[in-house]
Chain A
């Protein structure tokens, strides 16, 4: 039991860092530009597909990832310049609808370019094995790679936001957008840059998960809602909040999936637990979000000045 628990904790951590990569871009765009981007998941999908093609082209997964990251960032940049930029002044409602339209377009374009069946990305041998972390705790190498690269990126983002000029502008933007533009900062290139950064992060998340689940059409549409839950729980615009909430939700979701049924069986009869377990574990993250919103509408870690 305790071995299984530790492994599930690691699985939860892996889901958590993945969610963080998605949520980081989402919370930046939301916090700074006040733009609700449902289509953030499409960048995640594009990352996966582009990386798949490049992996087959170059014969190396690592090279595929390194080449795909700037491409996704550029796509994100043009996405901002062509569409998103014209929507900052509109209501959240318009954002939801326009980005919903983008999801439809992106899904269809991917189907037209890569076909409907999705792509399995082959991993090099040194990544596809398992590692014995502790005695009896054997874990797939690649999932460890996801965890460590996710944590590294998180650390990089922390540095970027805390110690660089760009980070300072981002922080300032998240807490008071009008003031930043009044101070003469070139807001439009800042926004485009932030958007491209968010796109790259989402793309990386897609590239990291694709060797596990394959690159498939619509892969972003399920996870994006979870990413929204993460940023709402963490507090919109807060990188720290996004990180903590992502890890928390990743772990809760994974543990819920694996243990909730057994826990319920202690209290109710087994047949009902079989039904209620999966239902409740799917609902878990939404329940958390509703509770957080009801008790603390601004999220757990809202940016300091608003």
Chain B
């Protein structure tokens, strides 16, 4: 039985490399199982729309995106990355929602001199000391968004905050990011177990007792909804203003509306993108996404869309020669594509240098909960770790 399995698997593996030889291939790793799959599906939808907009081609050549599921676990993501790296036809692997999956997967890609494009995760290591010429990001560095929030809190005259985030790399980066720029007092900070803990009763009670003026949180995915709900049930709306990063997005808002969590309305968040940003690429993307899926795209989707458009521009520059790694890298660095966030350019560490906006959760014209841009907090912001990068 086992013998047949191996032979069968082997044969199918050998065949699969032969079958699609005419298509150009790009790898894309995201989360397609576990509850976090909701983010991965949003990214996959955006990638599909990008490919539709490009007529199924990258750089004018018929192309195929090979999706792999990281199962929300670093070592699975790493195994899947290995699998893609070992495919000779794949030179670019994009995706990566989670910082820990990205960090686990970076080494095999760099060792094989292939290219990694993050469509979400932006841990400080990869932007600073461990920066690499084969790495590009179409998202942000973890510290930037909370830094923008800290800056806005200063402008808005907020004197004290309480900080809550999950206890993993991005969570710690977010907490550190807001502390970097916020000039008032941080009355307390809680790092909660990730991803298991969804009941924040003890932490919310502490936050309330601390007497802080506002609460700053980072809870991506399902934890975001759970947090907002408990924030509302604890009666904190009106006494402690809510400021979030990466916790409220196009995925969670419809669900919050269905669950009637109006505590989120009026809360403010910072981000490098918003569905209402006024540029052609964004309007087309948001309209087509809404038409196809009935909801606003999330920022995860926007970044995934940008990653495909970026790859398309680079593949066109090398005329479809995916073996020309140096050529691809040079063309990626140019970033000659129409980003949904408007202007787009890379810094020395291949992280985007970009604007950050203050957004507010509102009800849109159709009665759907959405976000809108209030003001621009940072213009062409460079992340704080770029200085540690020797590129």
A–B touch (CB < 8 A): the answer is: yes
Q: Determine how close the nearest CB of chain A comes to the CB of B251; give it in whole angstroms.
A: 7
- Is the CB of B209 closer than 8 A to any CB of chain A? yes
Which B residue's beta carbon lies closest to that of A122? B260
Contact of A214 among B201, B206, B222 (CB under 8 A): B222
Q: B233's contact among A111, A128, A257, A278, by CB below 8 Å, is which?
A: A128
Docked CA distance A212–B201 (Å): 10
Q: Are B206 and A120 in contact (CB under 8 A)?
A: no
Tell whether B318 is near chain A: CB-to-CB under 8 Å: no
B249 CB → nearest A CB, Å: 12
Asked if B258 is an interface residue, CB under 8 A from chain A, the answer is: yes
Residues of B within 8 A of A123 (CB): 233
When distances are taken between beta carbons in the complex, the residues of chain B under 8 Å from A142 are 233
Q: Report the separation of the CA atoms of residues A216 and B34 in the bound assembly, to the nearest whole angstrom.
A: 9
Contact of B196 among A3, A143, A222 (CB under 8 A): A222
Binds B, one of A4-12, A95-103, A232-240: A4-12
In the bound complex, how far is the Cα of B221 from the Cα of A217, in angstroms? 13
Contacts of B202 in A (CB 8 A): 8, 11, 254, 257-258
Q: Which of A7, A117, A121 contacts B205 (CB 8 A)?
A: A7
Our count of residue pairs bridging A and B at CB distance below 8 angstroms stands at 105
When C-beta atoms are compared, the residue in chain B nearest to A256 turns out to be: B202
**Residue A176 CB within 8 A of the other chain:** no
Q: Mark A185-217, 1 if CB is under 8 A from B, else 0.
A: 000000000000000000000000101111011
- How far apart are the CA atoms of A222 and B194 in the complex, in Å? 11
Contacts of B79 in A (CB 8 A): none
Answer yes or no: A297 CB below 8 A from chain B CBs.
no
Tell me whether A140 and B234 are in contact (CB under 8 A): yes
B196–A138 CB distance below 8 A: no
Number of chain A residues whose Cβ lies closer than 8 Å to a Cβ of chain B = 41
Q: Does B37 contact A (CB under 8 A)?
A: yes
A15 within 8 A of B: yes
* B265 interface residue per 8 A CB criterion: no
B132 / chain A contacts, CB cutoff of 8 Å: none
- Cβ–Cβ contact A116 & B201, under 8 A: no
From 215 to 269 in chain A, residues with beta carbon under 8 angstroms from any chain B beta carbon are: 216-219, 222, 254, 257-258
B residues in contact with A130, CB < 8 Å: 233-235
The contact string, 1 if C-beta is below 8 Å from chain A, for chain B 281-303, is 00000000000000000000000
Given A117-B255, A214-B198, is A129 in contact with B38 using a C-beta cutoff of 8 Å?
A: no
Contact assessment for B235 and A140 in the assembled complex, using a CB-CB cutoff below 8 Å? yes
- In angstroms, how far is the closest chain B Cβ from the Cβ of A124? 10
B348 at the interface (CB under 8 A from A): no
Q: Which residues of A are found within 8 Å of B38, using beta-carbon distances?
A: 115-118
Q: How far is the CB of A20 from chain B (nearest CB, A)?
A: 16
In the complex, what residues of A have CB within 8 A of residue B234's CB? Answer: 130, 140
Q: Mark B193-230, 1 if CB is under 8 A from A, else 0.
A: 10010110111011001000000000000100110011
- B240 to nearest A CB, angstroms? 13
Are B41 and A116 touching (Cβ within 8 A)?
yes
Q: For A108, give the chain B residue with the smallest CB separation.
A: B33
The number of chain B residues touching the other chain, given as a range, is: 35 or more
Q: Chain A's nearest CB lies how many Å from the CB of B167?
A: 6
Chain A residues whose C-beta falls within 8 Å of the C-beta of B255 in the assembled complex: 117-120
Chain A neighbourhood of B36, CB < 8 A? 116
- The distance in angstroms between the C-alpha atoms of A111 and B33, with both chains bound, is 9
Q: Give every chain A residue within 8 A of B34 (Cβ-Cβ).
A: 116, 217-218
> Is B256 part of the contact surface with A, judged by Cβ < 8 Å?
yes
B201 and A11 within 8 A (CB): yes
B209 touches A118 (CB 8 A): no
- A209–B193 Cα gap in the complex (Å)? 18
- Assess the A4–B259 pair: CB atoms within 8 A: no
Q: Which residues of B contact A4 (CB under 8 A)?
A: 205-206, 209
Q: Is A175 an interface residue (CB 8 A)?
A: no
Residue of B nearest to A255 (CB): B202
Specify which chain B residues have a CB less than 8 angstroms from the CB of A148 in the assembled complex.
Answer: none
Q: How far is the CA of A112 from the CA of B209 in the complex (A)?
A: 42
With both beta carbons as reference points, the residue of chain A lying nearest to B236 in the complex is identified as: A130
- Asked if A216 and B198 sit within 8 Å, CB to CB, the answer is yes
Contact A212–B230 (Cβ < 8 Å): yes
A27: interface (CB < 8 Å): no
B191 in the interface (beta carbon within 8 A): yes
Whether, in the assembled complex, A282 has its beta carbon less than 8 Å from a beta carbon of chain B, the answer is: yes
Q: Which of A113-150 contact B (CB under 8 A)?
A: 115-123, 128-130, 138, 140-143
Complex Cα distance A216/B222, Å?
8
Given that A122-B260, A218-B35 are contacting pairs, would A209 and B235 also be in contact in the complex, using a CB cutoff of 8 Å? no
Q: Which residue of B lies closest to A258 (CB)?
A: B202
- Whether B259 pairs with A117 at a CB distance below 8 angstroms is no
Asked if A120 and B259 make an inter-chain contact with CB atoms under 8 angstroms apart, the answer reads yes
B261 at the interface (CB under 8 A from A): yes
Q: Is B232 an interface residue (CB 8 A)?
A: yes
CA A4 to CA B201, docked complex, whole Å: 11
Identify the B interface with A (CB < 8 A).
Answer: 33-38, 41, 167, 191, 193, 196, 198-199, 201-203, 205-206, 209, 222, 225-226, 229-230, 232-235, 251, 255-256, 258-261
Closest 7 CB pairs of A and B: A120-B259, A213-B198, A117-B38, A116-B37, A130-B235, A11-B201, A140-B233
Interface contacts beyond A128-B233, A278-B167: sample of 14 additional A-B pairs, CB < 8 Å, sorted by A: A4-B209, A118-B222, A120-B256, A122-B259, A128-B232, A140-B234, A140-B235, A209-B199, A212-B233, A213-B198, A216-B35, A217-B34, A257-B202, A258-B203
26 contacts between A and B (CB under 8 A): A4-B206, A7-B205, A56-B258, A115-B38, A116-B41, A118-B222, A118-B255, A122-B259, A122-B260, A123-B233, A128-B232, A140-B230, A209-B199, A211-B229, A212-B199, A212-B229, A212-B230, A213-B199, A213-B229, A213-B230, A214-B229, A216-B35, A216-B198, A218-B34, A219-B198, A258-B205
